[in-house]
Amino acid sequence: MGLKVSKKKHIIWQTIIMSGVACFLSVYLSFFIRQLFDMSFVVSDIILAFVIPAIISPIIIYVILEQAYELYHSKKKIEELVHKDALTEIYNKRYFETFAEDIFLSRRKCSIILIDIDDFKNINDQYGHLAGDLVMKETAGIIKSQLRETDIVARIGGDEFAIICLDAEAEYGKEIAERIRKKVEQTELSYLSNNICLTISVGCVSNENDEISLNEFIQNADAALYTSKENGKNKVTFIGCA
């Protein structure tokens, strides 16, 4: 509701400004045409040149601006549907892959963190898929709460998440990964009088080597994640790419 009111105010102010410009241009053109053709100056004509745009232009401009805003927000909603995961409301695998490709093409430094929820299948089997959905949403929320605005997180598989930390040193990637792991470990979900404890396994890599390809980078992150799983889960493994 507040957003709609804010949008209306913005459109109204833009309409007032643009209508004022339209009135000024109309009067200016009236003066210019009379001077160009050496016509006599008539005050009533000048007043008319101001009054007509003052009445008509606000209506036309307001309608056009409102339609433009609706089209813009509709486009944004469609983009969100294409790029966002419906359950967790974070980015999906398609967006993650496109974003990662752009980062590597621009040779920007980054860290990639892969996260897998430990024993997620057992949670689904024991408590049901609704509990599994709750775990997914809670985990996504925890991850988002620990990131900077410039970092992105996506759900890239059933219970797997990926994070890209932009312009980040290796130490930052490791710090974020461990912070998320601890936060999840401290979380206990309540579902139908059952308490569900969560842990995650994490793999982290940093592209310190400009020559490494995106596929190799992802493979290293997968290898780090696999190592965390093999070493007892609820761990962070870092693999440097120097």
State the total domains in the chain. 2
115 with 71, same domain: the answer is no
Domain identity same for 65 and 9 = yes
Q: pLDDT value at position 85?
A: 92
| 78 and 110 assigned to the same domain | no
- Residue that has been written with the tokens 């696999």 in this structure: 226
SS3 119: coil
Specify whether 121 is located in the same domain as 215. yes
* DSSP line for 38-70: TPPP-HHHHHHHHHHHHHHHHHHHHHHHHHHHH
Query: Looking at the structure, do residues 150 and 234 belong to the same domain, yes or no?
Result: yes
Ranked by mean pLDDT, which of 27-31, 55-59, 62-66, 96-100 comes out on top? 96-100
pLDDT digits (tens, 9 = 90+) for 101-130: 988 888 888 899 999 999 999 999 999 999
Looking at the structure, tell me whether residues 178 and 208 fall in a common domain: yes
Q: Which of 82, 106, 127 is the last residue of a domain?
A: 82
Is the same domain home to 130 and 234?
A: yes
**Number of other CB atoms surrounding residue 129 within 10 Å:** 10
The answer on 123 and 54 residing in a single domain is no
Same domain, yes or no, for 27 and 120? no
Instruction: Give yes or no: residues 98 and 218 share one domain.
Output: yes
Percent of the chain predicted with pLDDT > 90: 48
From 62, 82, 102, give the residue that closes a domain.
Answer: 82
Is pLDDT of 241 > 60?
no
Tokens of 137: 């949403």
Higher pLDDT pick, 5 / 90: 90
Is the pLDDT assigned to residue 231 strictly greater than 80? yes
How confident is the model at residue 210, as a pLDDT? 63
Q: What is the CATH number of the domain that holds 185?
A: 3.30.70.270
Per-residue model confidence as pLDDT tens digits over 164-199: 998 888 889 999 999 999 999 999 999 988 899 999
Catalytic residue positions? 159
Q: Which domain holds residue 113?
A: 91-240
Are 134 and 170 part of one and the same domain? yes
| Statement to judge: residues 98 and 207 lie in one domain | yes
Residue 3 reports pLDDT greater than 70? no
Q: Single out the residue of 239, 237, 240 nearest to residue 209, CA to CA.
A: 240
Where a domain ends, among 16, 51, 82?
A: 82
Instruction: Give pTM, 2 decimals.
Output: 0.70
